[in-house]
Amino acid sequence: MSGGVDSSVAAALLKDKGFEVIGITMCFNLPDVETKKPRCCGLQGIEDARRVAQKLGIRHYVLNMQKALQEKVIKDFCKEYSLGRTPNPCVRCNQYIKFDALLKKARSLDAEFLATGHYARIKHDTGHMTQDTRYFLQKAKDLKKDQSYFLYRLGQEQLKHVIFPLGNLTKVEVRALARKYKLPVAEKKESQEICFLPDNDYRRFLASQCKIRLKPGKVVDAQGNCIGEHKGIACYTIGQRGGLGIAMGIPIYVTRIDHKKNQICVGNKEDAQGKEFIIKQPHFISKPLKKRVALLVKIRYNHKEALAQVLPFAGKIKVRFLKPQFAITPGQSAVFYKKDIVVGGGIIDEAMH
C-alpha cells in the first residue's frame, strides 16, 4: 500500500471478496521535499496508507526498505547514467524490491499472495491449479494505464503468488470505487513515476546524491566534426532534442553517446532512428527463446510496440525491427509481446548504427 488510490482500492476489493488482507507500506526514508505531485513511499504516503488501512479495518505494517533501494536501484541508476546510458529504475524496483524482498516478507507473514495496485493481468494455462500450471503476464484492460512493461522480469514463482486486482478495471472505474468505499485518498492526485526523484530532476539527483562529476566534452556531427560542447554525458539521452545549445538551422537530436571518448553525437531525426540492437540480461516469463521468432517489441514505456525479429545471439538476444524506430536507447528495457501477452525482455545494451 503506497498511500495512493490504486493500491488502496486493490486492498478494498480483496477485503470485499473475503480475503484476509494485511497492508504493507515500504519506507525508503526519502528526503521530505516539496513536489507538485504526491510521492509514494514518502511520509505522506505512509500516513495515507495508514488511514486507508484504518478505514478498511486491516492490520498495517511499515517496512524500512531504504538499504534495498540504495543497493539494488539507486546504485545502478547512478552507474548507468555515468556510462551515458538511460536506466529504468521502476523495472529494477519491481524486480528486486516489490516482487522479491517484499514478496518474501509477505510470505514470511503467512500471506499466500502479494497484491498490488499495478494495472496488469495474470492468466494461467489450466482450469485447475496444479504443479505444472504455467502463468502468463497480460496487458491490463485499460491500455492507457497498462504497466505490464515494468513487470516483464517476473517469473513463474512470483506470478504464482501475485494478484493484480485492478487488471480488469479502468482508472475511471478505480476512482469511482474509491469514492464508493469512502476511502480517504479517493481524490488524491497521481504520484510521480520515480519516487526518489523530486520533480523528476534526475540531473540534480546525479550531482547531489550520486556525486557524479559532470565533465564537459565534444559534441560532434555524423561526420565526426566538433560543433559544440556538452555539459557532461549524464545530462543527455538518446533522442533528446532540447537543451543542446547548438543551432544548425534544422532540428537536431542526440543519436549516440560515447562515454569512453566523453563525446555526444548529434544528427537529424532520421539519424536518431535504427532497426537493430542487442539486449543483455534477457528474461523470459515462461520458456527461454531457442530460435528466431516474430514478436511485438516495446523499447520504452511510452513507445508504441513494433513488429521485430527476435533471435538468440551469442548468449544475448538480437532484435531486428521491420521498420526503423526512433531513439533505441541503451539502458532502457526492451519488452517482447505476443499480442497482449508479455513474453519477456531485457536491457538494451548496444544499438546498431
Considering the domain architecture, whether residues 97 and 160 belong to the same structural domain is answered as yes
Q: What pLDDT score does 202 carry?
A: 83
Contact 88, 137 (CB under 8 A): no
In a domain, 208, yes or no: no
Written as nine digits, the cell of 347 is 536491457
Regarding whether 281 and 258 lie in a shared domain, the answer is no
Does the residue 11 lie in any domain?
Answer: yes
240 lies in the same domain as 122: no
Q: Distance (Å, rounded) from C-alpha 188 to C-alpha 79?
A: 34
What is the full DSSP assignment across 179-212? Answer: HHTT-TTTTPPPPPSSTTSGGG-HHHHHHHTS-P
| Contacts of range 302-311, beta carbons closer than 8 Å, 24 or more positions apart | 305/335, 305/337, 310/336
Give the Cα-Cα-Cα angle 70, 71, 75 (nearest 5 degrees): 75
Model-wide pTM > 0.85: yes
**Which run of H or E residues covers position 115?**
strand 114-115
The CA distance from 264 to 12, in Å, is: 50
Contact, 265 vs 248, CB < 8 A?
no
205 lies in some domain: no
Domain shared by 139 and 61, yes or no: yes
Q: Which of 174, 200, 226 is the last residue of a domain?
A: 200
Annotated catalytic residue 41? no
In Å, what is the CA distance from 292 to each residue of 119, 272, 297, 318, 320? 30, 26, 14, 9, 10
b vs e for 234-247, b when ≥16 Cβ sit within 10 Å of the residue's Cβ? Answer: bbbbbbbeeebeee
Instruction: Tell whether 280 and 294 lie within a shared domain.
Output: yes
Choice among 40, 78, 195, 265 that is catalytic = 195
* 33 and 181 assigned to the same domain: yes
- 195 part of the active site: yes
Give the pLDDT score at 313: 86
The span from the CA of 15 to the CA of 22, in Å, is 10
Of the candidates 247, 267, 287, which is a domain's last residue?
A: 267
On whether both 220 and 321 belong to a single domain, the answer is no
Residue 154 is part of a domain; what is its CATH number? Answer: 3.40.50.620
Which residues form the domain of 253?
Answer: 214-267
DSSP 8-state secondary structure symbol assigned to residue 71: I
Say which of 41, 78, 93, 265 is annotated catalytic: 93
135 and 281 fall within a common domain? no
Count of domains for the chain: 3
Q: How many angstroms separate the CA atoms of 240 and 277, rounded?
A: 19
Largest CA distance in the chain: 67
DSSP string, 78-111: HHHHHTT----HHHHIIIIIIIIIHHHHHHHTT-
User: How far, in Å, CA of 168 to CA of 142, rounded?
Assistant: 7
Digits of tens for pLDDT over the chain (353 positions)? 999 999 999 999 999 999 999 999 998 876 655 555 555 667 888 999 999 999 999 999 999 999 999 999 999 999 999 999 999 999 999 999 999 999 999 999 899 999 999 999 999 886 556 667 899 999 999 999 999 999 999 999 999 999 999 999 999 999 999 999 999 999 998 876 678 886 777 888 888 777 778 899 999 998 999 999 999 999 899 999 988 888 888 899 999 999 999 999 999 999 999 999 999 999 999 888 999 999 999 999 999 999 999 999 888 999 999 999 999 999 999 999 999 999 999 999 999 87
Among candidate residues 149, 169, 200, the one where a domain is terminated: 200
Q: How many CB atoms lie within 10 A of CB 339?
A: 9
CA-wise closest residue to 155 among 172, 141, 134: 134
| Sequential DSSP letters for 126-157 | SSS--TT--EEEEE-SSTTT--GGGGTT--HH
For residues 168 and 20, state if they share a domain. Answer: yes
Q: Which residue has the cell 464508493?
A: 180
CATH of the domain at 229: 2.30.30.280
